[in-house]
Structure formats: C-alpha cells, structure tokens
Structure 1
Amino acid sequence: MFKLTVCLLTCNSARLLREVLPPLLIVGDEIIVVDSGSTDNTLDICHEYGLTPHLHPYAMHGMQMNHAIGLASNDWVLCMDSDEILDAETIDFILALKAGEEPAVDNAWRITRYWHVLGQEVRTLYPVSSPDFPVRLFNRTQARFNHRPVDDKVEGRLHTVKMPGRVRHDTFYTLHEVFNKLNSYTSRLVKYQNVRPSIGRGIVSAIGAFFKWYLFSGAWRQGKVGVVTGLYATSYSFLKYFKAWYQHEDKKEPVAKEHTDSHLVE
C-alpha cells in the first residue's frame, strides 16, 4: 500500500472544476493545486473542497507541473490538468493499485485520455490522435516533465502500463478558446524552439496538415467540430513557420535601417 499525491494545475478553471475535483479527492491522499493567476471562481471552488491553491506564475506546462511535484509530500504522484476528468473505472483501478503492494519505483501508468472539442468527442486534435496515453502516475524520484514549450511529457527510466477507463479531456470549449490557444501555442513554439523561418514551408506544411488531419483522419465526418479541428491543424502548421519568418525578418530590419542611415550620411 502506498500514498498518492495528486498534482493539479489550474488557471480560470471554474467551468469544470466541480467535475474534476471529486474523483481526485477519492484517489488522492493529498491534493496539491498550483494556480497561475485565476480571475474567475477557481480559487473559491478550491476552498469549497478544503483546498488552498499555491500561486505560481506560469512559464511552461512542464515547469509548472514540476513545481507542483516538488510541493508533494509523497513520492508517488498523479499529475492532472483541470480539464481532465477521471471516470469510475480509472478511479477503481487507482484505488486497487494503491491498496496492493507498493510497486517498483520505475513503474509508471498512462491514463487513457479521450479528447473533446466544443463538447464533442473527436478522433484527432493536431498533433495527437484520440485517445492518447500520457504518463501521469509515477514516482517522482524517477521522472519529471520535460520543458518542451508545447506537448511536454514525462521523461525518466520508466516501465509504463496503460490504465483502463476513459479520462475525458474536455478542451477547447469555445471558438475563442480554440484561436486563443492556437496563437499562444504557436508563439511559444517559435520562442523556445528552433523553427525554420519560411513562408513556403508553412504553405506546404499547411496543405499537408489539411489532408492528414481533416480529410484522411475522417474529421470531415464530424460536421462543424471537424471543420474546427481541421482548421486548427492547418493554421497551426502554417503559423509556426510564418511567425518564425516574421520574427526573422523583424530582426533584420534594424540592420537594414542602420545601413541606410549610414549611406545617407555619406
């Protein structure tokens, strides 16, 4: 038998928090909530459940989650986001796991996560297919989240197993959220990763994404939600190269201006 700390990240999470918290309170011996500056009722809802969030400025998801892991009293941690809801089968599995003998420290478990966009389950959301299976339950002495700006994951010397059940990932609940995250993710990617600055490459990538993530994936069968996920994939593929190109050109402008001013002086 072992004790488990749940690490939960929040930011303006009031929409789903009353669905997210009850399952986590069942499986967790301790709940660490790290909030990055909520302005809605998130903090009040946490207080309703007897939880006091730790406030911490947001940099990247992996860094934020690692901060939460560092606050845990137990080495075994379950790391969750505030738009992920455990179902009964997943809860029962975790409770049974905790009730047995403590596993080897290099064991880890992946949740079975089904993605929902605008309230509807989808088959794909660039760059992942649904369900996906991220590692979320592990011993913190063996692993941490990496610092990738987008799509970070747990890294360590681990033997992983998929949990049963269906974890609902209820993301992108409005069009505003879709485009807000599209802008945020692509800007973060260009800032922290080396993306080739090329409009031409962006156009080719966007065309490929349209075929792969809208036509071939079957997203076109899902009506307006499929159009949204297809547009998201196409736009993401173009914007990351376009923003890199724009940033590259922006850096060249002061040099060009300095050369022009020097020529005028002569």
Structure 2
Amino acid sequence: MFSLSVCVLTFNSARLLKDVLSPLVDIADELIIVDSGSSDDTLSICQEFGITPSYRAYTTHGEQMNFAISLTNNSWVLCMDSDEIIDQKTVEEIKKIKAGATPETDMAFRISRHWFVLGQEVHNIYPVTSPDYPVRLFNKESVMFNSRPVDDAAEGYKNTAVISGFVKHDTFFSIHEVFNKLNGYTTRLVKYKKVTPSLARGFFSAFGSFWKWYVFKNGWKDGKVGVITGTYAVAYSFMKYLKAWYQHDGKRK
C-alpha cells in the first residue's frame, strides 16, 4: 500500500467544489488545494473540509499543478480540477491501486473523463473528443506537467493504464463562461506560443474546424449545445490567428 496526495486547483469554484471534494477525501491521505484568488465561497468550503488552500497567482494550468505537487509529502499524486467529479467506481478502483503492489515510478494512470457543457454531455469540445483519457495519477519522481499555455498534459511516464470509472467534467455552465474562457485561452495561447499572424489562415482554420468538430466529430448530434460547441471551435480557431495578426500589425506600426 502507498500513500496518496490529491491536488486540486481552484478559482471561484464554489459551484461544484463540495461535489468534487467529497469523493476525493475518501482516497486522499493528503489533500492539497491551490487557489488563484477566489472571491466566492471557495475558501469557506475548503475550510468546511478542514483544508487551508495555498495561494498562487495563475500563470498556466501546468505550472499551477506543478506548484501544487511541490507541496505534497507523498510520491504518488492524483491531480484534479475543481470541475471534475469522480464517481464511486473510480474511488474504489483507486483504493485497489493503493492497496496493491506499489507500481513502478514510471507507471501512470489515466481517467475516463466525460465532458459536460451547459449541463449536457457532449461528443466534443475543441480540441478534445469526449471521453478523453488524461494522465492524472502518477509518481512525481518521474512525471510532471508541461507548461503549455493551454491544453497542458502530464509527461515523463513510460506506461499507462486506464482507471475504471466515470469522471464528470462539468465545464462551461453558461454561455457567458464559454466565450469568456475562449477569450482567455486564446489570449494566453498567443502570449506564450508562436502563432502565425495571418487572417487568411484564420479563416481557413475556422472553416476546417466547423467541418471537423461540428460535422465529422458529431457535434451536430448534441442539439442546441452542439451549436454552442461548434461555434466555440470556429471562434477559437479564428481568434488565435486574429489576435496574433493584430499584435503583429501593431508592432510594425
């Protein structure tokens, strides 16, 4: 048996935090929460669970997770976001992993994560299909998160296995949040990553995203919510090039 530290990132996460933390306390020998400046009831909810969050100003998701990992006292860590709710089967499977022979340090475990947008499970949300299987349980001696501005991932493992169960990723609870996050994601992407400053490429990318994510990846099957996720894919694909073009054009002037 090995001890497990669970890391959770929060920012104005009161909406789901009790549902997120309740199953995690059942498997955590240590629970670390890193908050990036919540102004809602997030901190008081953490106190209800006997947890005092650490503060770190947000840079990237990967850097935030790595900071949380650096605070842990155990080698094995489970990293979760504050809109991801694990079910009882996932809890039981993680307990079995903990109770069994300690895995090799380069072994990692994936979760089966199903995406929900506006309260409805969807086939995709750019740039991932649902479910996806991110690595979330691993040994910190071998695995850490990269620092990509968006869509970061854990790296350093050699072998993986999928944990049986269901993780509900209840993201984007309002149309306002959909496009607010779209704006934030594309701004960070252009800031930290080289994006070709081309309006023409933006138009072609947006057109391709519509066919790929709404048509071929079955976004149309999700009804009204599919229209929202399809629009998100198109807007994301175009706006990253638009922002890069605007910044590049401004520097020339």
TM-score (norm 1): 0.94
Indicate whether 1:180 and 2:183 are aligned: no
Indicate whether 1:36 and 2:32 are aligned: no
Q: In the alignment, which residue of structure 2 is the partner of 1:259?
A: none
Q: In the alignment, which residue of structure 2 is the partner of 1:56?
A: 56
| CA positional deviation for 1:220 | 1.4
Question: Counterpart of 1:47 in structure 2: which amino acid?
Answer: Q
| CA positional deviation for 1:102 | 1.2
Question: Counterpart of 1:110 in structure 2: which amino acid?
Answer: R
| CA positional deviation for 1:143 | 1.0
Q: In the alignment, which residue of structure 2 is the partner of 1:74?
A: 74
TM-score (norm 2): 0.99
The alignment-based identity, stated in percent, is 60
| CA positional deviation for 1:216 | 1.6
CA contact under 8 A between 2:123 and 2:222: conserved in structure 1? no
| CA positional deviation for 1:221 | 2.2
Q: In the alignment, which residue of structure 2 is the partner of 1:158?
A: 158
Mapped to 2, the partners of 1:149 and 1:202 lie a distance apart of 19
Q: In the alignment, which residue of structure 1 is the partner of 2:195?
A: 195
Q: In the alignment, which residue of structure 1 is the partner of 2:170?
A: 170
Q: In the alignment, which residue of structure 2 is the partner of 1:123?
A: 123
Q: In the alignment, which residue of structure 1 is the partner of 2:25?
A: 25
Q: What SS class does the counterpart of residue 25 from structure 2 fall into?
A: helix
CA contact under 8 A between 1:142 and 1:158: conserved in structure 2? no
Extract unaligned runs of 5+ from structure 2: none
**Structure whose CA Rg is larger:** 1
| CA positional deviation for 1:100 | 1.2
Question: Counterpart of 2:185 in structure 1: which amino acid?
Answer: Y
Pairs aligned (count):
253
| CA positional deviation for 1:157 | 3.4
Question: Counterpart of 1:27 in structure 2: which amino acid?
Answer: I
Extract unaligned runs of 5+ from structure 1: 254-266
Deviations 1:114-139 (CA, angstroms, capped at 9, x unpaired): 00000000010000000000000000
Deviations 1:160-192 (CA, angstroms, capped at 9, x unpaired): 111111100000110111011100000100011
Structure with more of its chain in helix, by fraction? 1
For residues 1-266 of structure 1, what are the structure 2 equivalents within 5 Å?
1-253=1-253
Question: Counterpart of 2:3 in structure 1: which amino acid?
Answer: K
Q: What SS class does the counterpart of residue 59 from structure 2 fall into?
A: coil
RMSD: 0.6
Q: What SS class does the counterpart of residue 26 from structure 1 fall into?
A: coil
CA contact under 8 A between 2:105 and 2:139: conserved in structure 1? yes
Question: Counterpart of 1:108 in structure 2: which amino acid?
Answer: A
Question: Counterpart of 1:231 in structure 2: which amino acid?
Answer: T
| CA positional deviation for 1:106 | 1.1
Mapped to 2, the partners of 1:124 and 1:157 lie a distance apart of 26
Mapped to 2, the partners of 1:201 and 1:207 lie a distance apart of 10
